[in-house]
Amino acid sequence: MGSTEAINNLSFQLTFGITGMVLLVSFIIVFFIVYQRRLLQQQLSSQQMEVSYQKELLTAGILAQEAERKRMAIELHDSIGGLLSAAKIYVSNVSQELAAPQFSLFKEKALQALNENIQEVRTITNDLLPQSLERLGIVSATRGLLEKLQELKQIKVDLQANAEERFEGDREKALFRILQELVHNALKYSEAKNVAIHFQFSDTQLMVQYQDDGKGFDRAAYEQRPGRKSFGLKNMERHMAFLNGELNYKTSPGNGVEVNLNLPLNTVKQIEPHGNTY
């Protein structure tokens, strides 16, 4: 190792080695810092998206509540209010001085108004929360919903279920709200001729498929509408988030709507009817 050539060789190897290692380390450190910053930005933007999605769900919930209150107020005012006012008029006209036939007529009219009132209250409460949902479960309540759809619009309905299992009351109500929203859309906008809902229960999950052959819609355009920002969809997503399940919406103009719901079932069992906490 004493010759000049050997010394130069060693010096070259060392210089080359040290420079190479330091450059490599510098590159690794710069790469690490830049990549970490980029990942942080991605993390931040996905957090912001999540927050904005949660806000949208919250807004959808509040709007749904408000719309429901408005609908109830209109129903109560238009039907119950009107019928009760009529009953009041008939009752106030009844007096002992009236001739027997007229007395009987007013009494009959007042009773008729009260009976209609009772019927109307039943319809409204059934719309709000079907008795069949509490007593018999989601499949029966959906059957009632579809029967009503058939009556109102002469739509051909198809309900299939491999079982009629019960699960937690709150979750049944949330699922019912989603199906109610879909049926409501079919009734109001879709011009569908056929509507089908299929339930597939297994030990751990429930798959529900909704299909109609209505006019469908352009989902992307629908979601970007100003003002009513895909309110119904957001509302369904809000319920689905509560159910901890998945909701897949397939639609396009002229091709109807297909919605697949998949929710985990932890406690599939016969549950006694209980109070409404949802």
Partner 1 sequence: MSEELVRILNSFAAYIGLIPSILAFFKIKKITDKSSLIPYLVWWGTLIGLFAMFIATYLHQPNLFLLHIYTIVDFILLSLIFKPVLPQLLSRLLLFGYPLFATINSVFFEQLKTENVLNRTLSALILMFYALSFFTKTLREMKILNLEKEPLFWISIGVLFYNAASFFIFLFSHYLTPIHNLWFTYFGIHAIFTILLYICYTIALWVQPKQ
Q: Which residues bind partner 1 (CB under 8 A)?
A: 1, 7, 10-11, 13-14, 17-18, 21-22, 24-25, 28-29, 32-33, 35-36, 39-40, 43
Nearer to partner 1, 2 or 226 (CB): 2
- SS3 category, 196: strand
Please state, in angstroms and rounded to a whole number, the distance separating the CA atoms of residues 171 and 260.
Answer: 17
Nearer to partner 1, 33 or 118 (CB): 33
Q: How far is CA 207 from CA 143, 189, 251, in A?
A: 16, 25, 19
Shortest distance in whole angstroms from residue 48 CB to partner 1: 15
Nearer to partner 1, 19 or 125 (CB): 19
Shortest distance in whole angstroms from residue 78 CB to partner 1: 57
Please state, in angstroms and rounded to a whole number, the distance separating the CA atoms of residues 240 and 235.
Answer: 9
Please state, in angstroms and rounded to a whole number, the distance separating the CA atoms of residues 152 and 145.
Answer: 11
Shortest distance in whole angstroms from residue 225 CB to partner 1: 36
Shortest distance in whole angstroms from residue 64 CB to partner 1: 36
AA letter at 277: T
Nearer to partner 1, 15 or 252 (CB): 15
AA letter at 139: V
Nearer to partner 1, 43 or 224 (CB): 43
Shortest distance in whole angstroms from residue 33 CB to partner 1: 7
Burial of 47 (0-12, 13-18, 19+ CB in 10 A): exposed
> Which is it for the CA torsion 178, 182, 233, 264, positive or negative?
positive
